[in-house]
Amino acid sequence: MKTQVITGLIVLLLLCVTAKSLHLFYKEKQAKETAQRNIQALTQENEYFRTENGNLALKKLIIESSLAEIKADVYNIADELKKLKIKPASLSNYSSTGTETIYRFFTTIKDTVLNKIDTFKTFAYQDNYLRFYGNIHKDTLRADYLLKDTLIQVVFRGDRFTKTGKKRPSWWIFSKRRLQQIVAAKNPNTKITYSQFILVK
């Protein structure tokens, strides 16, 4: 009887150690796969495509981060969180996007009489996204502009990839769909130059 109890305890102990080892192995494997996916996301080239209305949109893989990585400032966002008065522990996701807007427009310059001996030239331009106006007096240009834009961001289960980062066809069921983001600007003159989305797990 005593031998059976001891044997049972040893078997139970071995089962517990095995279960713990398997759990640690699985966790380590998941962490390694996440790190590989994050390296792919960080090194991925910008993938542009045209939306239905002809504007450029950017498609990128997202970064999956642990709270420990956020606290260790692996992705260099601690300063931004501090400015926004957000504690890393309360973060669920973080997104940053860079844009550039190039406008080429033509407008007439009109002479305006300031007084009998002094004149200056004025100009104005306006469309749905830009309001630009100012004047030229002697050799000085004074101008004001207002630029409007709206950024649309979507995070979704997108393309399928291999572990090495090669894209698979959408019908390939042996690879999971990766989380991706699309960022698009309403202003047709705006180009998304950079985007990063960090999902905290």
| Mean pLDDT along residues 71-94 | 88
* Annotated domain spans of the chain: 1-90, 91-100+150-199, 102-147
pLDDT tens for 15-72 read 888 888 888 888 887 778 788 888 888 888 899 999 988 888 999 999 998 888 889 9
What's the pLDDT at 118? 63
Q: How many CB atoms lie within 10 A of CB 77?
A: 19
pTM for the full model?
A: 0.68
Residues 6+ apart with CB under 8 A from 127: 105
| Mean pLDDT along residues 157-180 | 77
pLDDT of 115 above 70: no
Which helix (H) or strand (E) segment holds residue 183: the answer is strand 177-185
pLDDT of 5 above 80: no
Pairing of strands 190-200, 93-101: antiparallel
List the beta strands (DSSP E) in 23-176.
Answer: 47-50, 56-61, 63-65, 93-101, 110-115, 118-126, 130-137, 140-147, 151-161, 167-168
What's the rounded Cα separation, in Å, for the pair 113 and 133?
17
Residues 6+ apart with CB under 8 A from 102: 189, 191
What's the rounded Cα separation, in Å, for the pair 146 and 39?
38
pLDDT of 156 above 70: yes
What's the pLDDT at 48? 93
Q: In this structure, are residues 75 and 69 in contact, taking their beta carbons and an 8 Å threshold?
A: yes
What's the pLDDT at 57? 92
